[in-house]
Structure 1
């Protein structure tokens, strides 16, 4: 069946697509087999390499759980600060006042253009030279600073785009009933934009969780990724096993975050559909009788 977007495939096209699919699957299987053989030849698939994660709790209590805790702390603090800060800058970029809109736009574009790793390194040097923060706590402060500055600027653009995507009639109707600009933003525009912005916001929160690994790789922040090196050394160079376990934990964290966001989005949409003003029958009858009498 033909469509506006594409033409229906003929017999030759179907056979060609089946051939491409088979070739691709064979290539994937061959690649997987090559990786398996390479890991097996290096002894990375031996049970001794994976045993610490399935028998006993030493690897978890000594390396993984402390690193996971630090990762969650850094991610939570960054989200807690970046979300309201990004919303504030996004709203500020929509201000009618030039002295608010222009500086907010400059800050957002500046921090959005700088790689988050550079912001972390800059933050570490800043805390080391100009503050009395303890040396053990500086990596955490630097990671949170870099994540907040970068992700708040990205979230500011998400908020601004979400608000601008709403129909102008929403603002005009609110102005017609005499609402002030602050009331229009907080009571009309922002609540409606939250649902539309939620997928983009969640994707940025996932980026925050993943980017905490930069602190462990560069700034000696004792996060989940930083636990791989000492853990691999202690258990006989089980690098592949250690990285696999850490990667799966990151997947679980981000999956839980996106699942919660999906549930929240469905709940918000269902609440929007269920809201509405229902006039009592007495009010309707009174209106009809008044019209008749007139």
Structure 2
């Protein structure tokens, strides 16, 4: 930690670097983008994330956005510092906030929905100096789409019908693996995909992942929580769920989403039941 060139430092990090002598480091599930460790000190636990693989995100932008979210009371980790390690890899230190959510019931689903909607309600003037990015929707969320016309053709039609709007900050990958739980407190992590975007897509991607990896019943209740708050018509969210499902199918070809024994069957069920996806079955 002392070898990292800290561009942003809080007083907590300053004190940690200056005074802490006893530190225990425990590797955490790191995924494909970065190395993540839990740092245990005599007073508190922290998480150090170093993007030392292919992904090299703008860590200062993430840090500033995290600061804005935290200062406005959103359920995010406390940002403590960011910089680069001796190899030039982006690094960030935050609070330690538990382990990924494993089980959900209706009260927890309601809370998860409210947490995402609270992110969408973040005042935009608080993000003016953060450098919140804005991307082309299709090129960002559908990598290599040109290689797969069977997905591209229906996708472009759906995107045109959806009338996408870059209306607020979106998380971009809101699912149970990116939500930590510690003594009934929930915290949203992994802001790699944060950007200006359409909240309906952010919700729909989260609903589709809930359906695929938890259950259709839980996803249905989860969707109802969003609709009740925003008064969206079910048909409106179904259109965005169709777009989100096409993204999962694409990622199953070009990336490595988790696939369990019933995953493909659930995706096929979504494709079959969604009114916007009634066309020739897609291959996986």
Q: TM class by shorter-chain length? A: under 0.3
TM, length-normalised to structure 2? 0.20
Question: Larger C-alpha radius of gyration, 1 or 2?
Answer: 1
TM, length-normalised to structure 1? 0.20
Please state which structure has a larger fraction of its residues in strand.
2
Q: Which has the higher contact order (CA 8 A, sep 6+)?
A: 1
